[in-house]
Structure 1
Amino acid sequence: MASNTDTSPLLSATSGADYESISSVESNTVRTHESKPAPSDVEADVLPEVSTLGRTLTWRSAYIITISRVLGSGIFATPGVILASVGSPGLALTLWIVGAILAYFGLALSLEYGCMLPRSGGSKTYLEFTYRKPKYLTSILVATHSILLGFTASNCIVFAQYMYFAFRVDGTETGRKAIAVALLTLITLIHACFRQAGIKIQDFLGWIKIAMIVFMSASGIFVVLFRPDQRDIRHAAADLLPPSDELNWTWAGFWAGSIWSFGAIATSILKVFYSFSGLSNINNVLNEVKDPVRTLKSVTLASLATASAMYALANVAYLLVVPLDEVKTSGELIAALFFTRVFGETVGRTFLPVMVALSAAGNVMVVTFALARLNQEIARTGLIPLSKLLSSTKPFGSPMGGLIVHYIPSILVLTIPSGDVYSFILEVEGYAGQVITVALGFGLFWLRFKRKDLHRPYKAFLPGVGIQLTVALALLLAPFFPSEKQKEKGWLGGVAYALVGIAV
């Protein structure tokens, strides 16, 4: 990390091309965890920092860390849940399009901050730099959010669901949770004891995930386009396909059953946001990225383009192949139903769902990788107990303390008794995340007008940031206007996720 002496004047004068040269100088004088900066000395502490682990992440690794975080369980699990909430294919697909646009506005927000302050820590670093008073407020806010809500439980659950489906096991909820806990434990041990091996494994699983979504989308479109003349498909799964008249929706039918409720749309858009979340994942580990500013800009925009295209193709493939009634009742298993209908009981029921499970495991790996380092940055502030121990990289040269801090709340969420725990987790995570979005959005406007001296290699489109802010504020209010379906669960049922998020 940069020294605390005579560095602040460099802040506004440093260009993106200079970051690497500064980092090369810093690499010879990397500050150890034991010599933490004073939390108040923020201005001198925003220069690019070389991690004690070194700048080892290339463009390819940074892309995989980002795209693997984005392409998690969302596209394999949420489309069915979203369609069940909003009632019609038209409204569901509209929300995915709106979500992609808003994801770009949110990405532009984190890009401006990340290029301006190219250090690990993500929103923690940005909020601490922006909001200096009351002292420690933003540090504690982000630490609380990260530690209590920075879990990877949802993808662990999807992994267990798809493994059960693939091997035709009608197991208990306890068994599913046991598998999810075992997965998280194994991944934590890999990242803790075999850091380089963990990076290679998550890179490999990331490419599997990309290939899976491309294959799924292409196969769905292929079957629909050629099935009238292809009834002799080798796996003989054509009998499982819906009648052709089910595929020819009228415009009215496309919107039939739409639930235009503020509450229903809000919970659905939160799930879409969850599917796009992770575009700023690389912001959490910029200290380990080679040429951080240039890599950040290209990797995140490439990841957004990749995810948007794949999500559009996957949603169309689902709706063309799986009957709408089955989509609405599929829960998290919509991809499994799709594969079974297209490829039959052998390949579609077993092999491909296992690949989906491995994709979910890959997502758990990259989230654990990034959030452990964010927790390590939080520990280095000295604001949590045992900060010196938790910020250490001993004994295996990995963020062991950050991994432990990440592991404990994830295990608690996985083991608590609950009903539809998957949807609830997504809603709580998404709701609390809107508070951070609002703080970052207002902070960016404030810095634009009050700190014009700061060097900004990337500038966000301010009207887009304004739209992002407006939507975030609306989503914070939405739970208090539940749909009729949500009211059936009782008033608390529709607002419970918001109350948990507010409490945190």
Structure 2
Amino acid sequence: MEAETQPLLQAPYECREDSDLARTHGRDDLPTAIPAKSLSWTSAYILVVSRVIGSGIFATPGSIVKSSGSIGLSLLLWIGGTILAACGMAISMEYGCMLPRSGGDKVYLEYTYPKPRYLASTLVAVQAVLLGFTASNCIIFAKYTVFAFGGEPSELTHKLFAAGLLTLITILHGCFRQTGIWIQNVLGWLKIFLIGSISLTGIWVILLRPGGIEMGSGGAAAAAAVKKGDFVAWDTLFEGSNWSWNLLSTSLFKVMYSYAGLNNVNNVLSEVRDPIRTIKTVCPAALLTSGLLYLLANASYFLVVPLDEIKQSGELVAALLFDRLFGPRVGGTLFPLAIAISAAGNVMVVTFALARVNQEIARQGFLPWGDLLSSSRPFGTPLWGLIVHYFPSLLVITLPPQGDVYNFILDVEGYPGTIFGLAITVGLLILRYREPYLPRPFKAWLPAVWLRIAVSFALLVAPFIPPPGRKGDVEFFYATYAVVGTGVIVFGVLYWYVWTVLLPRWGGYSLEEEEKVLDDGTAVKRLVRV
């Protein structure tokens, strides 16, 4: 960040006479003012990369290998997930270039599906509030911190550390905006360095074969194959593969979760300098960075840690890697602590973006106490949007028992996310047919759009296909996460019907949009009773 940047939400909006969005797009439902820009290309890149590279690559490989059963199938899942992530990224880039304003998926769904009136907005609001938590990365921070300091890994200790991190970051972003942005930028670069270190470990093992490392049978075979020049040792890489679509789908959810955030800059586009150029370059750069590092990191795990240990590692596979390479003092303390800090950086960028999404939702009247929750006072930050984000995350951290809670959180977040992703992807085709005149500085490749549609349908059906032994990657009913995720969508529909249809009918009023300028200079359209 540059020292002279203006406050993100307190700065006045600057009207653009020659490029007004409403005139450009021929629509009157877009704002006619754009906020003063304060995020440079570098800050936008860190905002995306630091969101993408979170706990996923440090915590999910063990679960993915356990579900897939083999190194080869696990790597195929990571490659497939990367391709799907690229398809989703291209779709978000087309939307972002068409509608360059903050709000992300909420803006795109509202624009694409104006009828039934307010349904899309209500569903996004319910999903953002109920499932827009950062509990998973807080849990990873707690587990790696306790591991690094050799503490007793009790459930209470993990919950206290996780809740403490969430509270600290909420206060930091809510009261000290510039400091919070500076810290998350620093942690973002630290994260890139850390995942780069993990990724280069595999190359180091292959080239130097350091003594004293007891590699697993699969990893040893892979290393031997590479040394001979045979890069695909099919006879060993796919031994024990489990091709159950139910288990593979949950693994794909986890891989795609590891890429979640490639569209993070879309949530704050109104605050980005030259948003169209930025989104066209930042997102592919972040995908290339994370994709390459992820594949190399997985190779490092397989080359150093025995396969059986990876399957039993839970969320601590990266800690096992460094412990085996550098011993308990350096590898078992410093690097796990760095991973914990990396997870904390991810929590920072997620709360930074989601607080602004919550603020946009409140500004339009989809949350109670809209004037309060949408205000940027007293610190020029979305403090109340942070608080809306804080409490669901805190409940998810403190109430459920530990154990399978991390995997369950990832699956519950992923399922409704896939539903929304499918709606947005289909909506892109609808918009191309309905409004072909819209300027599209970037256009997603059509086969990528259809591929995402097909895979999304398959992923939504997969959880209800019984896995072998009717046992998934958690101890309870294998389709629980799909039931819970669907339940959130159903709750959103019921909430919309009661709020926009039933109550107005009983109360003799209607909901209409009203132009309003907030105390921070933001012009919004808010729902009011008429």
Counterpart residue number, 1:284: 267
* Change beyond 3 A, Cα 1:105–1:490: closer
Counterpart residue number, 1:210: 192
Residues 188 and 403 of structure 1 are in contact (CA less than 8 Å); yes or no, is this contact kept in structure 2?
yes
Counterpart residue number, 1:440: 424
1:265 pairs with 2:248: yes
By how many angstroms is 1:459 displaced? 0.5
Counterpart residue number, 2:172: 190
- The code of the aligned residue for 1:224 comes to I
* Change beyond 3 A, Cα 1:111–1:257: same
Give the Cα–Cα distance (whole angstroms) in 1 for the partners of residues 32 and 471 of structure 2: 50
By how many angstroms is 1:490 displaced? 10
* Change beyond 3 A, Cα 1:300–1:45: same
1:10 pairs with 2:51: no
Counterpart residue number, 2:281: 298
By how many angstroms is 1:144 displaced? 0.6
Residues 221 and 317 of structure 1 are in contact (CA less than 8 Å); yes or no, is this contact kept in structure 2?
yes
Residues 2 and 48 of structure 1 are in contact (CA less than 8 Å); yes or no, is this contact kept in structure 2?
no
Give the Cα–Cα distance (whole angstroms) in 2 for the partners of residues 253 and 48 of structure 1: 60
Counterpart residue number, 1:81: 63
Give the Cα–Cα distance (whole angstroms) in 2 for the partners of residues 497 and 252 of structure 1: 35
1:135 pairs with 2:117: yes
Using structure 2 for the length normalisation, give the TM-score. 0.84
Give the Cα–Cα distance (whole angstroms) in 2 for the partners of residues 4 and 91 of structure 1: 52
SS in 1 for 2:180: helix
- The code of the aligned residue for 1:477 comes to V
1:337 pairs with 2:320: yes
Counterpart residue number, 2:79: 97
Using structure 1 for the length normalisation, give the TM-score. 0.89
By how many angstroms is 1:492 displaced? 6.1
Give the Cα–Cα distance (whole angstroms) in 1 for the partners of residues 239 and 90 of structure 2: 35
Give the Cα–Cα distance (whole angstroms) in 2 for the partners of residues 128 and 185 of structure 1: 32
Counterpart residue number, 1:455: 439
Counterpart residue number, 1:409: 392
Q: Which runs of structure 2 are paired with 1:94-493 in the superposition (5 Å)?
A: 94-227=76-209, 230-231=210-211, 238-242=212-216, 245-246=220-221, 247-248=223-224, 250-418=233-401, 419-487=403-471, 493=477
Listed one character per residue, the Cα deviations across residues 39-74 of structure 1 (whole Å, up to 9, x for unaligned) are xxxx224367533xx311000000000000000000
* Change beyond 3 A, Cα 1:108–1:239: closer
* Change beyond 3 A, Cα 1:265–1:224: same
Give the Cα–Cα distance (whole angstroms) in 2 for the partners of residues 494 and 281 of structure 1: 30
Residues 91 and 428 of structure 2 are in contact (CA less than 8 Å); yes or no, is this contact kept in structure 1?
yes
Listed one character per residue, the Cα deviations across residues 208-241 of structure 1 (whole Å, up to 9, x for unaligned) are 00001111111232123212xx53xxxxxx2555
SS in 2 for 1:209: helix
Listed one character per residue, the Cα deviations across residues 375-430 of structure 1 (whole Å, up to 9, x for unaligned) are 11111111210111100000000001110111011001111223411000000001
Residues 15 and 34 of structure 2 are in contact (CA less than 8 Å); yes or no, is this contact kept in structure 1?
no
Residues 45 and 286 of structure 2 are in contact (CA less than 8 Å); yes or no, is this contact kept in structure 1?
yes
By how many angstroms is 1:367 displaced? 0.2
* Change beyond 3 A, Cα 1:453–1:226: same
Give the Cα–Cα distance (whole angstroms) in 1 for the partners of residues 108 and 128 of structure 2: 14
Give the Cα–Cα distance (whole angstroms) in 2 for the partners of residues 225 and 48 of structure 1: 58
Counterpart residue number, 2:522: none
Listed one character per residue, the Cα deviations across residues 187-223 of structure 1 (whole Å, up to 9, x for unaligned) are 0000000000000000000000000111111123212
SS in 1 for 2:302: helix
Equivalent pairs: percent with the same residue? Answer: 53
Counterpart residue number, 1:55: 37
Counterpart residue number, 2:523: none
Residues 48 and 117 of structure 1 are in contact (CA less than 8 Å); yes or no, is this contact kept in structure 2?
no
- The code of the aligned residue for 2:72 comes to G
By how many angstroms is 1:245 displaced? 4.8
- The code of the aligned residue for 1:279 comes to L
SS in 2 for 1:132: coil
Residues 4 and 44 of structure 1 are in contact (CA less than 8 Å); yes or no, is this contact kept in structure 2?
no
Q: Which runs of 5+ in 1 are unaligned?
A: 14-42, 232-237
Calculate the aligned-residue CA RMSD, in Å.
2.1
Residues 86 and 265 of structure 1 are in contact (CA less than 8 Å); yes or no, is this contact kept in structure 2?
yes
By how many angstroms is 1:338 displaced? 0.3
Give the Cα–Cα distance (whole angstroms) in 1 for the partners of residues 308 and 17 of structure 2: 65
Give the Cα–Cα distance (whole angstroms) in 1 for the partners of residues 472 and 288 of structure 2: 39
Residues 49 and 287 of structure 1 are in contact (CA less than 8 Å); yes or no, is this contact kept in structure 2?
no
SS in 1 for 2:365: coil
- The code of the aligned residue for 1:182 comes to G
Give the Cα–Cα distance (whole angstroms) in 1 for the partners of residues 38 and 17 of structure 2: 27
Listed one character per residue, the Cα deviations across residues 223-279 of structure 1 (whole Å, up to 9, x for unaligned) are 23212xx53xxxxxx255557855447422211111110100000000000001100
* Change beyond 3 A, Cα 1:402–1:338: same
- The code of the aligned residue for 1:331 comes to G
By how many angstroms is 1:8 displaced? 6.7
- The code of the aligned residue for 2:101 comes to R
By how many angstroms is 1:487 displaced? 3.0
By how many angstroms is 1:2 displaced? 8.2
SS in 2 for 1:494: coil
By how many angstroms is 1:442 displaced? 1.2
By how many angstroms is 1:482 displaced? 2.6
